[in-house]
Structure 1
Amino acid sequence: MDTKLKELDINKIITEDLIDLNLQATSKLGVIEELTHLLFKHHYIDNEESFIKDVLYRENEGVTGLEKGIAIPHGKSESVIKTSLAICRTKQPVEEWESMDGNPIEVIFLFAVKTTDATTVHIKLLQKVATLLADDEILQSFQTVKTKQEVIDLLSKNNG
């Protein structure tokens, strides 16, 4: 099991079904609700209300808006069936989302983590995505990608 975690394959966690490059929401809650619905629709979570509650609980613990328009909200929840990652780019920047550099948020990575994976997979997944997001070139690319496959390719770029 431990080797499996070391070789966490981001491609098994991200699918085109969980990517929206044209999200309509203009508020933090709206974004979380839309991404949660995507997770629910594709059977990654079994209870939208409960999952949203868990994500908002985590949001109250600290800022999930990073820099350069990126946010990484996450929920460790009993309602998660399979640990996954929903990704979106909003049509309009979300002004109200608190971020480390004070800029509005446009690209959101919503982590849905099974309670049983909370200490291991969750941390590995966060580390992997954080490493990718530390790369300015990759960050820039998220603002301009045209297809869902491009998002997957970007996240797979430094996989390993």
Structure 2
Amino acid sequence: MPEANQEFDIANVIDEKLIVLDLDVSTKVDMINVLTDCFEREGKLNDREAFFKDVMWREGEGETGIGMGVAIPHGKSSGVNKTALAIGTTKNDLEWASLDDEPVRIVILFAVTEGDSDVVHLKLLQHVAMLLAHESFVERLHAVKTPAEMLTLLESSPDDYDD
């Protein structure tokens, strides 16, 4: 039985079609393009170029690399018609402005509608941030082999991890 405070469910914003593993990309722009294509293919965008431009503008505003090889770029954009998350992994080190100055291999891209910009966006960021605060979660994230495994991991509760 779901807890009363769990009105937000990450399963509403991600599915296996938005998870792409072992990409052969070598730049931040390539990774963001691939993930943006996923959003477009799955009908999450009404204006691909506007969304991409908004994400790249946000990237210019500050670091979205949070450390341990993970980045969480995001775009709040009129080009988004349904708030969603896409995740890409690559074996290549991506140069990324990161808190620990280390390259990135896992990118969690947030696409947020203008209407969801406050409540859903914050809950989405909070859930992902709480998971990423656990080193054991990040280690498991780097070891994921299938989209289904990634989805299960993201749907887990931050309470499942004790570091």
Which TM-score tier does this pair reach, normalised by the shorter chain?
Answer: over 0.9
Question: Is 1:86 the counterpart of 2:86 in the alignment?
Answer: yes
C-alpha offsets along residues 74-100 of structure 1, whole Å, 9 cap, x if unaligned?
000011110000001113110x21110
Q: Which has the higher contact order (CA 8 A, sep 6+)?
A: 1
Extract unaligned runs of 5+ from structure 1. Answer: none
Counterpart residue type for residue 135 of structure 1: H
Counterpart residue type for residue 24 of structure 1: D
User: TM-score if structure 1 supplies the norm length?
Assistant: 0.93
Which structure dedicates a bigger proportion of its chain to helix?
Answer: 1
Distance 2:121 2:84 in 1: 9
Extract unaligned runs of 5+ from structure 2. Answer: none
Distance 1:138 1:119 in 2: 26
Once the two structures are superposed, the pairs formed by residues 21-36 of structure 1 within 5 Å of their partners are 21-36=21-36
Query: SS state of the match for residue 96, structure 2?
Result: coil
Counterpart residue type for residue 99 of structure 1: S
Distance 1:124 1:55 in 2: 19
Counterpart residue type for residue 13 of structure 2: I
User: TM-score if structure 2 supplies the norm length?
Assistant: 0.91
| 1:99 paired residue number | 98
- Give 1:5 shift: 8.7
Q: Is residue 23–residue 88 contact of structure 1 (8 Å, CA) maintained in 2? A: yes
Q: Is residue 77–residue 115 contact of structure 1 (8 Å, CA) maintained in 2? A: yes
- Give 1:19 shift: 0.2
Label 1:112 to 1:122 Cα distance change in 2 as closer, same or farther (>3 A): same
Label 1:79 to 1:131 Cα distance change in 2 as closer, same or farther (>3 A): same
Question: Is 1:60 the counterpart of 2:60 in the alignment?
Answer: yes
Structure 1's consecutive aligned runs of 4 or more residues displaced over 4 angstroms after TM superposition are none
How high is the sequence identity, in percent, across the aligned residues? Answer: 43
Label 1:93 to 1:81 Cα distance change in 2 as closer, same or farther (>3 A): same
C-alpha offsets along residues 87-132 of structure 1, whole Å, 9 cap, x if unaligned?
01113110x2111001100000000000111011101100000000
Counterpart residue type for residue 71 of structure 2: A
